[in-house]
Amino acid sequence: MPSHRMPAVELPRDEIQHTQFEHEWWYFFARVTQPATKIRFHYTSALMRRGIAWVSYARWWPDGEDPVLRKEMHLGPTTHSGTELVVEPNDNWRVRLAAGRSTHRLGAIGALHFSDDSTGAFLHTPSGDGGIRSYGGFNEMAWYSWPRSKVRGQLAGTIGAEGIVEGIGWMEHQWGNTDFTRLRWRYLPILLADRTLIAYHYAHEDVPGAETTEVAELVDGEARVLPDCTLSPLAPGRGPTSITGGGLKLDCRPTAEGIVDLRFPGVPRFCEAPTLVFDAEGKEVGIAMTEYHPVEAT
**Residue 1 belongs to some domain of the structure:** no
Q: pLDDT value at position 158?
A: 62
The secondary structure of the chain as a DSSP string is: ----SSPPP-TTGGGS--TTSSEEEEEEEEEEE-TTT--EEEEEEEEEEETTEEEEEEEEEETTS--SEEEES----EEEETTEEEEEEETTEEEEEETTEEEEEEGGGEEEEEE--TT--EESS-GGGTTEEEEETTEEEEEEEEEEEEEEEEEEEETTEEEEEEEEEEEEEEEE---GGGEEEEEEEEEESS-EEEEEEEEETTSTT--EEEEEEEETTEEEEPTT-EEE--S--SS-EEEEETTEEEEEEE-GGG-EEE--TTS--EEEEEEEEE-TTS-EEEEEEEEEE-GGG-
Q: pLDDT value at position 113?
A: 93
43, 59 Cβ separation under 8 angstroms: yes
**Residue 7 belongs to some domain of the structure:** no
**Residue 2 belongs to some domain of the structure:** no
* Number of structural domains the chain divides into: 1
**Residue 243 belongs to some domain of the structure:** yes
Calpha distance 112→156 (Å, rounded): 11
In this prediction the pTM is: 0.89
Is pLDDT at 11 greater than 50 in this prediction?
yes
**Residue 98 belongs to some domain of the structure:** yes
Q: How many CB atoms lie within 10 A of CB 175?
A: 23
CATH number, residue 190: 2.40.370.10
**Residue 5 belongs to some domain of the structure:** no
**Residue 174 belongs to some domain of the structure:** yes
As a whole-number percent, the residues of the chain with pLDDT over 90 amount to 38
Q: pLDDT value at position 59?
A: 83
What's the whole-number mean pLDDT along residues 130-141?
Answer: 89
25-83 pLDDT, tens per residue?
888 999 999 888 888 988 888 888 888 777 778 888 888 777 777 666 555 556 655 55
User: Binning pLDDT at 50, 70 and 90, where does residue 5 land?
Assistant: confident
Range of the domain at 219: 13-297
Sign of CA dihedral 10, 15, 16, 18: positive
**Residue 264 belongs to some domain of the structure:** yes
